Amino acid sequence: MICNMKTIIKEAANSNYIVPGFNVFGYEDAIAVVRAAEELNKPSLLMINKLAADYMPIEYWGKLLRAIAEDAKVPISVHLDHCKNFDLIIRAIKSGFSSVMYDGSQLPIEENIKRTKEITKVAKVFDVSVEGEIGSVPYADIPGHAKDLLTKVDDAVRFTTETNVDWVAVAVGQVHRLQHTKSEINFDILKEIQNNISKPIVIHGGSGIKETDLIKMTKYKVGKINVGTSLRMAFGEELKHQVIKNPEEFDRIKLFSEPSKAVIEVTKKMFNILDSNN
């Protein structure tokens, strides 16, 4: 069932679980995420980022992912992640996305607030949830693509108050796209932020956070965690294995079967880690 996740993520932030959002790049990993969510009876978000939006028109993504979400037996949101383009966000809203993220994290705070407010005003008319970001999470594989800037508590308070976003992404030491190392989370800053704002907190770079820290975050007012790299690694590694194992096979449907199962297992593991009620 399609859902904008506003209420569910707010409930999660005040409970002992976190809703995972998974960045997907096609039908195979998207349906794998939903199958895992259905098996465990968990809500989730199917998210696409700039790479996916550049690869295929946002209108196609909207039709594909919304159809998958509508048929799901659990609440699923279709979410546009890390978008800096106003027109693309409007196209996503018109294409059926149930939540969007405007990423103004590289701008001065005044400009970030101004542009995020504009997005929020439009999105609310269509009952679309909005995520904003204050502070900046760097990328492990793209040096200089984003600042490494921990979120300041005063900025978080001002940002959430003035923009009226539904969720706020913060930087507390995590890093996007970490593959083999883990980031060090500053829980002191995270605690100070949660004690001073009323909005659910979003953590990006979930694949690069230690399992023990993810579990610890379930005790904080974190409502959503983004996961992408671990899914791509699971799919890619198993696909390489299948190609080597079956050098004569050319049918992509057969070659994608085991990688899709690998994504299901990684997704189920993340669901269980983020639910301390387990």
User: Catalytic positions, please?
Assistant: 81
Backbone phi, psi, residue 23, to 5°: -75, 125
68 with 103: CB under 8 angstroms? Answer: no
Of 164, 176, 79, the C-alpha closest to 135 is 176
Angle at 34 between CA 28 and CA 40, to 5 degrees: 135
Backbone phi, psi, residue 167, to 5°: -140, 150
Of 72, 20, 47, the C-alpha closest to 273 is 20
Helices 257-273 and 229-245 cross at an angle (nearest 10°) of 150
In angstroms, the CA 124 to CA 178 distance is: 34
